[in-house]
């Protein structure tokens, strides 16, 4: 049993629903108890879809457990096939159905349904949402394409000279982070390189579209959490190369252009493809105060790695923590963290993330909806960069994260929660203003400010039994003169310094000694 306050991912069958709801002409029959239809709301409310997701639930109740729930499965399958007439019917268990073992996949295969059936094994007690989406997408693509596969070892024919190069964009789904606009942005970018987009999948694709995947020259692994498995199967089976750079941030977008050009054998001047305002905004003097702002990054694997690069190389922040809840991408994140001289935090335990943020006392958190809870508790500015997200991160306006426009969006989004430069200077100088002070948030956020700030708490949270470190009254008072957004770090550094020096009381001088000590 694992105590979970917040979960970063839903169960795997929600991943399966994401794939089904992203596509056209597929239907999912989910064997599940009454109540699991809450998942519909993710699509009708958070994604604001104007139709129900293509899912039929058996919705068994306690009284059904006595009789045959398998009968309900067969009934639901026939009804779904008849009513919705999908090109492909997918069948899966939710977590409770997994316990009663009706084997709905096997039942479906034996039921002589007038539609091809793909049976999914969801492993609800070991796997999670992104795995479920990846597995579902993979099973669909494999199920539809394996018969088209050329014999192993055969050479992939090269593109005819009069055919425009094309790629597939694989991985975007409903309930992904800004997938809707990322697809538009990347399609536009590829278009301006003279590259066609053959199939976008799962988002907007039908099973017939999936059958066209091998016609493209390469696959863009746009959301590896969902499409990694499929891309590597397509590479193995059809010899299709995979483009792996995630074009999030200015530099990564340029790298993406370079990789697309090299994989497709195109001669392209990167600088001529497009431009972002981020580089100039970030170089302009108004941004100087962003230098060295300490940020903590936690997200799904691909967004975490991409955000860390933007944070350090394009915004001039210092990345003080980097982590992910995607165990499947742990290796990438560890490698990236190493580059920043950090130990990656690989966990899906919200409390561990909270403890790390508290320990590091960053000036900003780039995270998920869950990190917003942590940031509120600790009084730290926060921006959302990845799922899990809530309805406010499925906006009406064009808001890609990828490509050149995506970089513009990132700049605005990340700077917004921070106190603006002039206000920051004045807070350093004058502490007791009746309007502008520690207990109110940044004035440009109006009442959005998070209220009381508690960053001044002891870094460890709870006082440790063995330690007898005491803050003298004057020193504590002096500490309060440091603005809240750096006070946590000052307290932590001072305490660390005092411990190293074997001091038991922190005086005003200790505070300044520590400041001098850590000033490099």
List active site positions.
286
* Tokens encoding 32: 């599940």
According to CB under 8 A, which one of 25, 46, 237, 496 is a site residue for another protein?
46
Residue from 127, 126, 75 nearest 102 by CA: 75
Q: Which stretch binds another protein (CB under 8 A): 233-241, 333-341, 364-372, 510-518?
A: 364-372
Mode of pairing for the β-strands spanning 382-384 and 318-324: unpaired
H-type helices in 361-401, by residue range?
369-378
Taking CB under 8 A as the rule, does residue 376 contact another protein?
yes
Q: Which stretch binds another protein (CB under 8 A): 206-214, 226-234, 388-396, 492-500?
A: 388-396
Q: Per-residue b/e over 248-268, b at no fewer than 16 CB within 10 Å? A: bbbbbbbbbbebbbebbeeeb
According to CB under 8 A, which one of 85, 331, 377, 428 is a site residue for another protein?
377
According to CB under 8 A, which one of 15, 17, 20, 57 is a site residue for another protein?
57
Output 214 or 367, the one with its CB closest to another protein: 367
Residue from 483, 477, 474, 473 nearest 433 by CA: 483
Output 52 or 338, the one with its CB closest to another protein: 52
H-type helices in 239-300, by residue range?
250-264, 270-273, 278-283
DSSP secondary-structure letter at 170?
E
Taking CB under 8 A as the rule, does residue 396 contact another protein?
no
Taking CB under 8 A as the rule, does residue 85 contact another protein?
no
Whether 362 contacts 296, CB under 8 Å: yes
Give residues with Cβ within 8 angstroms of 220, minimum separation 6. 167, 168, 169, 170, 186, 242, 243, 260
Taking CB under 8 A as the rule, does residue 99 contact another protein?
yes
Taking CB under 8 A as the rule, does residue 61 contact another protein?
yes
According to CB under 8 A, which one of 15, 21, 56, 240 is a site residue for another protein?
56
Residue from 104, 144, 97 nearest 124 by CA: 97
According to CB under 8 A, which one of 24, 25, 44, 476 is a site residue for another protein?
44
According to CB under 8 A, which one of 369, 408, 413, 457 is a site residue for another protein?
369
Report in angstroms how near the CB of residue 369 gets to another protein at its nearest: 6
Q: How far apart are the first and last CA of the chain?
A: 45
Taking CB under 8 A as the rule, does residue 70 contact another protein?
no
Q: At 86, phi and psi to the nearest 5?
A: -75, 160
Output 38 or 434, the one with its CB closest to another protein: 38
Residue from 26, 31, 1, 27 nearest 13 by CA: 31
Helix, strand or coil for residue 239? Answer: coil
Q: Which stretch binds another protein (CB under 8 A): 193-201, 332-340, 356-364, 372-380?
A: 372-380
Binding footprint of another protein, residue count (CB under 8 A)? 62
Q: Per-residue b/e over 317-342, b at no fewer than 16 CB within 10 Å? A: bebbbbbbbbbbbbebbbebbeebeb
Output 352 or 509, the one with its CB closest to another protein: 352
Report in angstroms how near the CB of residue 59 gets to another protein at its nearest: 5
Report in angstroms how near the CB of residue 39 gets to another protein at its nearest: 8
Output 266 or 351, the one with its CB closest to another protein: 351
Taking CB under 8 A as the rule, does residue 372 contact another protein?
yes
Distance CA 48, CA 40 (A): 11
According to CB under 8 A, which one of 40, 423, 507, 513 is a site residue for another protein?
40
Rule CB under 8 A: which residues touch another protein?
A: 1-7, 9-11, 13-14, 33-38, 40-42, 44-46, 48-52, 56-62, 64-65, 76, 79, 83, 94-96, 99-100, 124-126, 128-129, 351, 369-370, 372-373, 376-377, 388, 390-392
């Amino acid at each position: 049993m694992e105590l979970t306050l917040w979960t970063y991912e839903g169960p795997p069958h929600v991943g399966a629903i994401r794939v089904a709801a992203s596509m056209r002409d597929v239907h999912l029959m989910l064997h599940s108890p009454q109540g699991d239809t809450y998942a519909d709301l993710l699509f009708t409310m958070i994604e604001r879809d104007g139709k129900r997701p293509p899912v039929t639930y058996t919705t068994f109740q306690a009284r059904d457990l006595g009789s045959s729930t398998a009968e309900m499965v067969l009934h639901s399958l026939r009804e779904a096939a008849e009513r919705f007439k999908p090109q492909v019917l997918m069948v899966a268990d939710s977590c409770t159905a997994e316990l009663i073992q009706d084997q709905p996949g096997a039942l479906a295969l034996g039921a002589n349904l007038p539609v091809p059936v793909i049976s999914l094994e969801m492993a609800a007690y070991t796997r999670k949402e992104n795995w479920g989406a990846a597995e579902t997408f993979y099973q669909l693509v494999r199920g539809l394409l394996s018969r088209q596969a050329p014999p192993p070892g055969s050479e992939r024919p090269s593109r005819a000279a009069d055919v425009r190069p094309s790629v597939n964009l694989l991985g975007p789904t409903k309930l992904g982070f800004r997938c809707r606009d990322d697809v538009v942005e990347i399609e536009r970018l590829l278009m301006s390189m003279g590259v066609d987009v053959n199939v976008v999948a799962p988002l907007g694709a039908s099973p017939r579209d999936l059958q066209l995947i091998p016609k493209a020259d390469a696959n863009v692994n746009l959301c590896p959490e969902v499409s990694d498995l499929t891309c590597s199967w397509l590479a193995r089976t059809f010899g299709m190369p995979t483009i792996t750079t995630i074009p999030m941030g200015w530099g990564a977008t340029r790298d993406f252009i370079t990789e697309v050009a090299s994989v497709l054998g195109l001669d392209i001047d990167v600088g001529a493809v497009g431009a972002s305002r981020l580089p100039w905004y970030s170089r302009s003097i108004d941004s100087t105060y962003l230098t060295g702002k300490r940020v903590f990054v936690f997200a799904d694997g691909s967004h975490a790695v991409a955000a860390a690069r933007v944070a350090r190389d394009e915004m001039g922040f210092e990345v003080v923590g980097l982590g992910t809840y995607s165990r499947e991408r742990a290796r990438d994140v560890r490698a990236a963290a190493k580059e920043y001289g950090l130990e990656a935090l690989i966990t899906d335990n919200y409390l561990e993330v909270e403890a790390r943020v508290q320990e590091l006392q960053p000036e900003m958190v780039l995270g998920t909806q869950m990190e917003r809870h942590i940031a509120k508790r600790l009084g730290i500015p926060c921006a959302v960069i990845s799922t899990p997200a809530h309805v406010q991160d499925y906006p009406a306006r064009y808001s890609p994260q990828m490509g050149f426009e995506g970089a513009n969006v990132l700049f605005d989004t990340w700077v917004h929660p921070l106190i603006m430069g002039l206000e920051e200077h004045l807070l350093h100088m004058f502490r007791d203003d009746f309007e502008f002070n520690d207990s109110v948030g940044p004035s440009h956020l109006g009442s959005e400010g998070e209220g009381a700030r508690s960053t001044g708490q002891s870094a460890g949270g709870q006082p440790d039994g063995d330690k007898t470190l005491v803050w003298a009254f004057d020193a504590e008072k002096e500490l309060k003169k440091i603005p809240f957004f750096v006070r946590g770090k000052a307290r932590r550094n001072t305490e660390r310094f005092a411990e190293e020096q074997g001091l038991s009381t922190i005086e005003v001088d200790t505070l300044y000694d520590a400041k001098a000590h850590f000033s490099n």
